[in-house]
Structure 1
Amino acid sequence: MLAAVCAGLLATSVRPAWAIPAFAHQYDVTCQKCHSVVPHLNAFGAGFMASGYRIPGIQPGAAFPISSKVNLVASSANQGSGENGASLPKAIVDEIELFTSGALGSHGSYFVEQYVLDGAMPGLVRDAWIAERVNPWSARIPVYVQAG
């Protein structure tokens, strides 16, 4: 019964999500501008990434440079016998992830994905790189130097 009430309250309180990642705030767009389903990029998102996280001719606005993702797991696993060990429902923080990326100078870009908590254990760096485009943005074939 409690689960049904909670599910009902949650379902009726859902609102459209505003874009959370920094790029969406900087360029005043939704996440769907670059993603079909997060984290998969659509054609615009792939072009945005290939352009060093820039939209030519548009100056990005200010935004906090770090985004986060938190995954919760619902559990009612039996924690032992007795009154305090009963199968009580609980929410467990399973994953906390921080990521930052953006443009560096006129031709560079960077990306860092860091797990603070992964599977309820201390997390590791999942992905990190820095890239520099060594030829002009107008060049037909892009040339990058990348590390990471």
Structure 2
Amino acid sequence: MEMTDGFASAMVTVIPVIMLAASVGMNNGIKLLTKHIERDIQRVEAGERVADDWESIARSCMALVWILLTAVNVYAEYRLIFWLAANDRPKSPALTQFVAYTGAVGFAIVVVLGLMPIWVTYEKRRNELGRLEEAQRQSQPFRFLEGQDRGRQ
């Protein structure tokens, strides 16, 4: 792989789009994380014990990934701008690979982490439905007995 004007020009415009999507995702993640932290603070103030749940840990990890993605993309953009500004543009295969991987991985992370809240919501609803079904199953023997008692009266 070699750095070309066309590739550098394309990536210097693609990377900010990835950074924009990452910043929106990071902002949403930070808002949700802040909401969870505030909820936990209220629970502690009310005397409840708060344990880290997998959702809070996942949100913290997602925020870290967004921050790292943004930092790597800023660095790639910086390198591309200076490569394009140089009079003598070296072929820079290492820079080409770095930029290509940064763009591909950045795009994948934006897609995956963008879909993560949908998955988390789905899992929460599925777990809630499972708990409701279990509670309903546990209460059915009593309903069955109640029906027999009514028939005897």
Structure of greater Rg: 2
User: Is TM (by shorter chain) over 0.5?
Assistant: no
TM-score category of the 2 structures, normalised to the smaller one: under 0.3
* Higher normalized strand content (fraction of residues): 1
* Higher normalized helix content (fraction of residues): 2
Query: TM-score scaled by structure 2?
Result: 0.24
Where relative contact order (Cα < 8 A, 6+ residues apart) is larger, the structure is: 2
